[in-house]
Structure 1
């Protein structure tokens, strides 16, 4: 669900609502926000902006997709 939300949001938009405690304290840079923006840029097909937001965006997205697939497959086999 979180990946769907990241795919539907505009990571380049300024002033959007955030639950990030660092952003709420007025700190502009947060590694978690950087990863979220990087994944969102990747899901929008913008590799350059993704790498600029956080260089771990692509590896994290690949690991998340791998885990979603393996957990989904494991759940499907348990139901049989």
Structure 2
């Protein structure tokens, strides 16, 4: 039961995270952020760069996406792949080894 909850929690988490990135304006500097580094006044954060890169991709701005973080495209591909795997419900080989 716990594994099912964890799988659905992760699935919902990634879907909501990508939806938030799709509906935010990456160019806006005044948008709300949960970044702890930004809260302390640090302006550069690799996580924020990835978030901006993915948001730019959702808005079709590939040039600014690569400028924000060059791993934006691969990370988006991996996240979409992970969402698909969680939604379909396939088990991975390492899940069987842990039982």
Higher relative contact order (CA 8 A, sep 6+): 2
Distance 1:17 1:3 in 2: 16
Moved over 2 A (4+): none
Tell me the equivalent position of 1:36: 51
Report whether the alignment pairs 1:71 with 2:71. Answer: no
What runs of 5+ residues in structure 2 fail to find an aligned partner?
1-15, 91-99
Flag structure 1 segments of 5+ consecutive residues without an equivalent.
76-80
- Measured in 2, the distance between the counterparts of 1:4 and 1:66 equals 15
TM-score, normalised to structure 2's length? Answer: 0.73
May I ask how many residue pairs the two structures share in their alignment?
Answer: 75
Q: CA deviation at 1:46?
A: 0.5
* Pairing of 1:1-80 with structure 2 (within 5 A): 1-74=16-89
Bigger-Rg structure (1/2): 2
Aligned CA-pair RMSD: 1.0
Distance 1:73 1:19 in 2: 30
| CA deviation vs aligned residue, 1:23-47 (integer Å, no higher than 9, x gap) | 1111111000000000000011110
Please report how far the alpha carbon of residue 51 of structure 1 lies from its aligned counterpart in structure 2 after TM superposition. Answer: 0.3
